[in-house]
Structure 1
Amino acid sequence: MSDSPAVQSLLRTMGRDLVATGDAIPDRRLQDWSGVPGARPLALLRPRTVEQLSQMLAVCNAHRQAVVPQGGLTGLAGGACCAPGDVAVSLERMNQIEELDAVSGTMTVQAGATLQSVQDAADAAGYLFALDLGARGSCTIGGNLSTNAGGNRVIRYGTMRDQLLGLEAVLADGSVVGGLHKMVKNNTGYDMRHLLAGAEGTLGIVTRAVLKLHPKPQSLATAWCGLPSFDAVTTLLRRAKAELPGGVSAFEVMWPSYLDFMLQRVPGLRQPLPQRHAFNVLMESAGADGEHHAAAFDDFLGRMLEAGVLEDAAIARSGTDARNLWAVRDATGEFPLLLPGMAAFDVSFSIRDIGQAALECEAMLRERWPGCTALVYGHLGDGNLHVIAHVDGSPADVVADIERAVYDLVRRYRGAVSAEHGIGLLKRKVLGHTRSPAELAAMRAIKSALDPHGILNPGKVL
């Protein structure tokens, strides 16, 4: 047993069923998907109720014991990794869907519920829970909220923050705050939802949430489009948003570097179009009328071909076709195996700048590091660009140089150093590229007010 006074107190008050130590802590709790090395925590706290979590944090706060909240451990910024001497807390036992209110169009869930379980419950009730990302089977609602996750449908439905109507959370001293409200309009002072969403567990630990549901689309039209230029890409986006009756629910752009690499290196992927194009767009539109929506989608793509906006397009005629197209975009989960030691960037720019910024970034990487694998893709509709850079056998100082170069470019374009993966440990040093000294001071003041002893996820974000 650890000789830590905090852990001893936790064991006495909560018992070994709720407080695991030593070899009873699973190895998967040592780090998240970021690859940042993590230490074995002094203890793993696994409460079943908000009351138990409240007691646990009160004990930790009294002993000034650092606590690291962990969700599904699918984060890519090191935000859930423990340092030596930390205690980890997992809400994996608080994973219930408590209520689905079909009249209000809301779902009340515990923070340990996986994203996929929420999606499935909404679908069974005839609704759509809009957030979607590749880690859906592992990531949790609490983690999605804490990182303000984005994903594939932000262009139409917004980020995780936009799916949230109410929440409950436990602060560092054990206080339980928030309200499980179902109202869209609720202007009653400071909004704890927006304060805690995106805070990465540094201000409080989210325990329950009221989520917004949307009517389930009756039709989903998907196409892979080949385009001659970035101007054509932005024209397609602008006109699709204006002319498609269901608007645009996904708009994924892939530069040739990305598509060529994936088709060559990932078995089982099908080439969507026979010819190579300057840009590739995977576009999805959701509608309420299956027959008319599909016809309108086909007609729109026909007009874009006639206008020269598109050079070619492959329209999915079945769910299997759509899955095959999405498989090319979702194959990014293979990167850690294909490109070990890569530098991965999740940045954002204004839509106007993203084409030039991507072109400049790719050229800079190949010029400064000959032989560099540079892959570019992203959610263009919300300005989110992903860049992968890999130099075979490169030492850590080369990776650090690549990171400095890319983040300097982001700063020049007045972009954001993190679009959807959070700051965690990996991006603390470049947060000032995006936020002003006054903003950083305000963040520190909020942190100090809600967590004066600094026990919640210390060293993350700030």
Structure 2
Amino acid sequence: MTNLQQTLDQLREALGEAQVLTGDAINARHYSDWTGHAPACPAALLLPRNTDEVSAALRICNAAQQSVVPQGGMTGLAGGAIPRTSDVALSLERLRGIEEIDAASATISVLAGTTLQDIQQAVHDAGFLFPLDLGARGSCQIGGNIATNAGGNAVIRYGMTRELVLGLEVVLADGRVLNLMNKMIKNNCGYDLKQCFIGSEGTLGVITRAVLKLAPQPGETTTLLCALPDYASAVSLLRRLQRDAGTPQAYELMWQDFFRTGVSWLENPVSPMPDHHPLYVLLESVASREVLEQTLEAALEAGEVVDAIMASSHTQARALWKIREATGEFPVRLAPLNFDISLPIGQIGDFAQMCRQRLEQQWPGNHSVYFGHIGDSNLHLTVDCNSLPQPAPILEIEDLVYTAVGEMGGAVSAEHGIGLLKREFLHHSVSPEALATMRQLKDCLDPHGILNPGKILG
């Protein structure tokens, strides 16, 4: 194995001095992601400006068997981009820009370091919608969104990132460049190789360019807040909406504990409706108000809804969304232990009840809140570690929750990836045979194991 200094000398020769940083020249934001887990200054930070430089960097590192951690906007929540002190971090932040918006094919071609917000703005100006949307839109990069198969509020209508990617350019561990750029929806020419890299968290290759599928801009949206008597009503209301008014743009379910917390944190903490109901759903729809009123009236008659507010203005709609957006305050007001899980939609209500009971039995008086995008089978659970004995038994709580997920045939990660933080629990959702196949794929594409070592598979 070539020593680190020789490798850095080769990298500087190939990329230039300004693109290879070490020591104090590396900004601390490259030490960890938004979790703040195990921050570490990498041995070097590479800042390639184009695909050729990414290719050269990986070719040199692969020959030296030097580990490389690809990094995007560092907004991840699973530790997928955290380096070790022995790793070289490879940031895509200088591969930024929009190459083309093709109105005829309704696609946009972008470099991997482009922020999600820049893409959203560009396609909006061109009369389209790129429906992926996250709270980190101003910081996260599209390459990282693709590498983690990001989700968000609009998945119920438009699908995960996987459904929004038509083509990719990927640099393999040995520096070879795979040109998988494609604008066609129908392309049935053998293996769909791009899918190997979507959600792989930089363990199989480094994404450098992408072709993304665009949607028409939606018409005027209407926001509703509905109180529900039970979880079964949340599912039946969703199916009624899909049948009578079309799939909503968003369908956000809040259990009573979350709703009360969100209201209490408002600048003016007055609940828009009584807070004693078991569940609340915040939804957005592009259906006409007349159709929504008819649908809501039928839902009230059927007992699926017990109270409702239809926002009459953008200001009122934003005020309702402020309750759901309480998650942004979690790091400030709580010591949050967050879970991002997926379960068959019909079982989410039972899981929430079972999980709450098990947590209470083990740690009486703990404070936890439940919420999620249940239309796409995603439940979020946050336990406030301030409400637990100290030091908080984090591993025990994780084991309790993920074991319950496995019992119900769910997924330990719905939209945040595996990274470092969920690696030890992946077996609850992935069979030994499937894990072995994943390792075979990793060994085939990255035989020296240089790409993001320790992530997903360990």
**Distance in 1 of aligned mates of 2:392 and 2:299:** 46
- After TM superposition, give the deviation of residue 451 of structure 1 in Å: 0.4
The CA deviation string for residues 7-28 of structure 1, in whole angstroms up to 9 with x for no partner, is 2221233222211111111111
Q: Which amino acid counterpart does residue 345 of structure 2 have in structure 1?
A: I
The 8 Å contact of residues 68 and 86 in structure 1, kept in 2 or not, is answered as yes
The 8 Å contact of residues 240 and 295 in structure 2, kept in 1 or not, is answered as no
What SS does structure 2 have at the residue aligned with 1:344?
A: strand
Which 10-residue stretch deviates more, 4-13 or 356-365? 4-13
TM-score (norm 2): 0.96
Which residue pairs with 2:51 in the alignment?
50
- After TM superposition, give the deviation of residue 404 of structure 1 in Å: 0.7
What SS does structure 2 have at the residue aligned with 1:325?
A: helix
**Distance in 1 of aligned mates of 2:53 and 2:154:** 35
- After TM superposition, give the deviation of residue 270 of structure 1 in Å: 5.5
1:103 and 1:278, CA in 2 relative to 1: closer, same or farther beyond 3 A? same
- After TM superposition, give the deviation of residue 355 of structure 1 in Å: 0.4
Which residue pairs with 1:247 in the alignment?
247
Give 5+ residue unaligned stretches, structure 2. Answer: none
Of residues 431, 439, 442 in structure 2, which corresponds to 1:447?
442
Q: Which amino acid counterpart does residue 257 of structure 1 have in structure 2?
A: D
Structure 2 residue 70 is matched with structure 1 residue 76: no
1:412 and 1:142, CA in 2 relative to 1: closer, same or farther beyond 3 A? same
Q: Which amino acid counterpart does residue 250 of structure 1 have in structure 2?
A: A
What SS does structure 1 have at the residue aligned with 2:283?
A: strand
- After TM superposition, give the deviation of residue 367 of structure 1 in Å: 2.2
Structure 2 residue 91 is matched with structure 1 residue 90: yes
Of residues 350, 357, 367 in structure 2, which corresponds to 1:356?
350
Give 5+ residue unaligned stretches, structure 1. Answer: 288-292
- After TM superposition, give the deviation of residue 3 of structure 1 in Å: 5.6
How many pairs were matched up?
454
Which residue pairs with 1:428 in the alignment?
423
Structure 2 residue 318 is matched with structure 1 residue 317: no
Which residue pairs with 1:164 in the alignment?
165
TM-score (norm 1): 0.95
Mapping of 1:357-396 within 5 angstroms?
357-392=351-386, 394-395=389-390
The 8 Å contact of residues 266 and 322 in structure 2, kept in 1 or not, is answered as no
**Distance in 2 of aligned mates of 1:81 and 1:396:** 24
The CA deviation string for residues 110-151 of structure 1, in whole angstroms up to 9 with x for no partner, is 111111111111111111111111111111100110000011
The CA deviation string for residues 308-342 of structure 1, in whole angstroms up to 9 with x for no partner, is 211111112222222222221122121112222x3
**Distance in 2 of aligned mates of 1:119 and 1:109:** 12
Q: Which amino acid counterpart does residue 16 of structure 2 have in structure 1?
A: G
Structure 2 residue 409 is matched with structure 1 residue 414: yes
Q: Which amino acid counterpart does residue 375 of structure 2 have in structure 1?
A: G
- After TM superposition, give the deviation of residue 272 of structure 1 in Å: 3.1
Which residue pairs with 2:286 in the alignment?
286
1:145 and 1:396, CA in 2 relative to 1: closer, same or farther beyond 3 A? farther
**Distance in 2 of aligned mates of 1:52 and 1:396:** 46
Q: Which amino acid counterpart does residue 332 of structure 1 have in structure 2?
A: T
**Distance in 1 of aligned mates of 2:204 and 2:149:** 14
What SS does structure 2 have at the residue aligned with 1:310?
A: coil
**Distance in 2 of aligned mates of 1:69 and 1:111:** 11
Structure 2 residue 294 is matched with structure 1 residue 299: yes
Which residue pairs with 1:176 in the alignment?
177
- After TM superposition, give the deviation of residue 247 of structure 1 in Å: 2.2
What SS does structure 2 have at the residue aligned with 1:219?
A: coil
The CA deviation string for residues 83-118 of structure 1, in whole angstroms up to 9 with x for no partner, is 121111111111101111111100001111111111
Structure 1 stretches of 4+ moved >6 Å: none
Which residue pairs with 1:203 in the alignment?
204
What SS does structure 1 have at the residue aligned with 2:146?
A: helix
Aligned-residue CA RMSD in angstroms? 1.5
**Distance in 2 of aligned mates of 1:122 and 1:273:** 37
The CA deviation string for residues 186-215 of structure 1, in whole angstroms up to 9 with x for no partner, is 111111221100000000010110000001
What SS does structure 2 have at the residue aligned with 1:314?
A: strand
